[in-house]
Structure 1
Amino acid sequence: MSNATSPSAASPAEPLRICIAGAGAIGGTLAVRLSAAGHQVSVLARGQTLQAIRERGLTLHDLHGTTHARPAASQLPEFGMQDVIFLCAKSQDMSALLPQIAPMVGEETVVIPTNNGVPWWYFHREGGRFDGDTVKAVDPDGALSNAVALDRLIGSVLFITAEVDSPGVIRSVNPHLMVLGEPSGAMSERLMRVRAAVEAAGIEARATDRIRDKLWTKIIANISTNPLSVITQGTLQQLYGVPELREVVSQIMRETLLVASSHGARVDIDPLTFLQLGEAMGAFRTSMLQDLERGRPLELASIGDAVLEMAERYAIPMPITRTIVSLARFRGEAAQQQTGQTGQQRAQQTQQPQPAARAA
């Protein structure tokens, strides 16, 4: 087992102060890899994850082997001004998270959301007919856009498959890739600085002047598999490989590709290759299926509703996608209701008086 100062990870000339806000599968992966590269990493976490990090640190099992790190951890933003803040929460949790990071955001701080789906900043400096608009499905009242100055943001697209084995222990079996880009398309100095830091941490990192192209690549992957996995409980290997499921995935992809191209995106991967790469990822459960199994809210607003909203801007029908998203929402709400009922039953059983023990 290597530690946070693993000699295999080259330390950059200037270590950065980096906060990971949210230490789930993705946040934990970034925290360990960036710690191993010599950066001053802190983690905003809560509950069992916070307790585990404080007691045992973070452990990552990935293609680099097993790496352990002990970043500073707290549920309060008490780490001072940061150079970079990675927002690693689900889209539906962003409205609660963004106000929390405010004390750590200075004039030079870069804020990088890593969540799935269409980001709330999509139309910021987009340069097209909708420049300056908001994506109402993910930011209905503009709270996200107002919480952190949009000029502080750098966009990101993560192709990282990871899963939490237990609090503070993350497993990832595929290569890590992060694509970074300014919403304006500028190849800025701060963009290159962050890219270099991520690359030095053992994560393939690319800078692009067309971040929305890569966003749509990930959006297509998310919307064609995540909601369907909730309905079928299928792994990526099954969704992309079983003929009946593969056909549904293909239809959703075709519908979404039309929306992407209508918004000026160039998706540089053909559907067949997309399907082949997806199947090769193996028996991995999507993040939305993992949330379903844990009784958590599903990330349907950014992954599903926002894409449907983007389609409506050009009057593009998405009948298959709309149906699958609706069914996934029904399944998710039913699972949450069941989880809530189970929790109430357990609480009632705990409160009920237990029968007295009888003498032998």
Structure 2
Amino acid sequence: MTRNITRVCIAGAGAIGCALAARLASVPGLSLSMLARGDTLTAIAAGGVHLTDLDGEHQGWPQVSADPAGLGPQQLIFICTKAQALPAILRTLQPAIAADTVVVPIVNGVPWWYFKGLGHSDEASRLQSIDPLGELERLLPEQHVLGAVTFMTAQTQRPGRVISTNPHLITLGEINNQPSERLEQVRQLIAAAGIEARATDSIRDPLWTKIIANLTSNPLSVVSGATLEQLYADPQLAPLVRAILDETLLTAAAYGARIRFNPPTFMQLGAGMGAVKTSMLQDYEAGRPLELATIGEAVVELAERIGLPMPMTRHTLALTRFIAALRHNDTASP
């Protein structure tokens, strides 16, 4: 990407997608569009997107559509969907992906591109818990992908309107760990929107930090109904969180990740996030599918590859699947 970024699409209009859109709307000269559907599409078309965060109020009116074909090819696409929606959204996005389009997946958990860009064979680089048939890598070849790790929390108040009570941070990196012009261009664009943006030559290091944050909080929040503050500070829950933390740290270290915190500091930071519900708990309460494959099962798969058992993590994931299945059966009953 050698020209200025002017055509940007956000695919997904949930809490993070709307927060990002509301911030990017302030960047001069940007043609901003969003993919949405149903009531959310109607709400954004009528009233735009609105974010309340630590800096105040932010509003924008992106072009919104359910069909990317009418938006034309994009220079930059942020995918802000749940992991299980990736195959469908990537199939939909094909008309918007040109030869030089950069795609930034903002998705929780272990990404399907984890082993891409590092010289592994296709079979060795494919995670069975995420992309067993290789559909994601066919729909989005690795040269389009710019890695991202997003530390943003947001909650939807109503379609198109979200609130965030914590600072925003996005770390970007090429999946082959090399510097690039497009990496710096995307970083500058995000920074221009008032979001702290960092570039790294080792994107998997902050990725593991986010994986650890997700895995220690999301599944157990469904089991317990607890907020982040309760998970990391309550005397009944904190020991369970710490056990999952220790197991995941060991797995991360086995894959060469450099984690820049110690466990007590991590627990304190988690408690300091306040009375915030995890995204998985919000999904569970709304009756939506849970991101257990990327947040939990992929980490267990990585651990299995190197002979690590992760017993507390496995038990917690099993309880979460059981509780989610009960909820599904209850809602499916006549």
TM > 0.5 fold call: yes
Secondary structure class of the residue paired with 2:92: helix
Structure 2: runs of 5 or more not aligned? none
For 1:329, the aligned partner's letter is: R
Residue 142 of structure 2 is matched in structure 1 by 150
User: For 1:322 and 1:250, how far apart are their aligned partners in 2?
Assistant: 14
For 1:218, the aligned partner's letter is: K
User: For 1:265 and 1:156, how far apart are their aligned partners in 2?
Assistant: 16
Cα distance, 1:16 vs. partner? Answer: 2.0
Secondary structure class of the residue paired with 1:36: coil
User: For 2:7 and 2:19, how far apart are their aligned partners in 1?
Assistant: 17
Q: Which has the higher contact order (CA 8 A, sep 6+)?
A: 2
Residue 16 of structure 2 is matched in structure 1 by 26
Q: Deviations over 1:185-220 (max 9, x none)?
A: 011000000000001101000000000001100000
Cα distance, 1:127 vs. partner? Answer: 4.9
* Backbone CA RMSD of aligned residues: 1.4
User: For 1:37 and 1:333, how far apart are their aligned partners in 2?
Assistant: 43
Residue 56 of structure 1 is matched in structure 2 by 47
For 2:204, the aligned partner's letter is: R
TM-score (normalised: structure 1): 0.89
Secondary structure class of the residue paired with 2:237: helix
Secondary structure class of the residue paired with 1:121: coil
User: For 2:32 and 2:292, how far apart are their aligned partners in 1?
Assistant: 30
Match of 2:246 among 254, 277, 281: 254
Residue 178 of structure 1 is matched in structure 2 by 170
Residue 296 of structure 1 is matched in structure 2 by 288
Does residue 122 in structure 1 map to residue 153 in structure 2?
A: no
Residue 350 of structure 1 is matched in structure 2 by none
Equivalent residues in 2 for 1:3-22, closer than 5 Å:
14=4, 16-22=6-12
Does residue 73 in structure 1 map to residue 58 in structure 2?
A: no
Residue 244 of structure 1 is matched in structure 2 by 236
For 1:225, the aligned partner's letter is: S
For 1:73, the aligned partner's letter is: V
Equivalent residues in 2 for 1:188-267, closer than 5 Å:
188-267=180-259
Number of residue pairs aligned between Structure 1 and Structure 2? 330
Deviating beyond 3 angstroms after TM superposition, the runs of 4 or more aligned structure 1 residues are 127-132
The question of whether the paired residues in 2 share the 8 Å contact of 1:125 and 1:131 is answered with no
TM-score (normalised: structure 2): 0.96
Residue 33 of structure 2 is matched in structure 1 by 42
User: For 1:128 and 1:159, how far apart are their aligned partners in 2?
Assistant: 28
Once the two structures are aligned, what percentage of the paired residues are identical?
49
User: For 1:127 and 1:142, how far apart are their aligned partners in 2?
Assistant: 17
Q: Deviations over 1:237-264 (max 9, x none)?
A: 0001101211111100100011111111
The question of whether the paired residues in 2 share the 8 Å contact of 1:113 and 1:155 is answered with yes
For 1:205, the aligned partner's letter is: A
Cα distance, 1:136 vs. partner? Answer: 1.2
Secondary structure class of the residue paired with 1:335: helix
User: For 1:273 and 1:127, how far apart are their aligned partners in 2?
Assistant: 35
User: For 1:257 and 1:271, how far apart are their aligned partners in 2?
Assistant: 9
Q: Deviations over 1:278-321 (max 9, x none)?
A: 11110000000000000001100000100000000101010000
User: For 1:160 and 1:232, how far apart are their aligned partners in 2?
Assistant: 22
User: For 2:286 and 2:254, how far apart are their aligned partners in 1?
Assistant: 36
The question of whether the paired residues in 2 share the 8 Å contact of 1:32 and 1:60 is answered with yes
Q: Deviations over 1:101-145 (max 9, x none)?
A: 111111211001011000001000235799951111111111001
Secondary structure class of the residue paired with 1:317: coil
Secondary structure class of the residue paired with 1:243: coil
Q: 1:117 to 1:57 in 2, by over 3 A?
A: same
Match of 2:297 among 305, 318, 321: 305
Cα distance, 1:83 vs. partner? Answer: 1.0
Secondary structure class of the residue paired with 1:89: coil
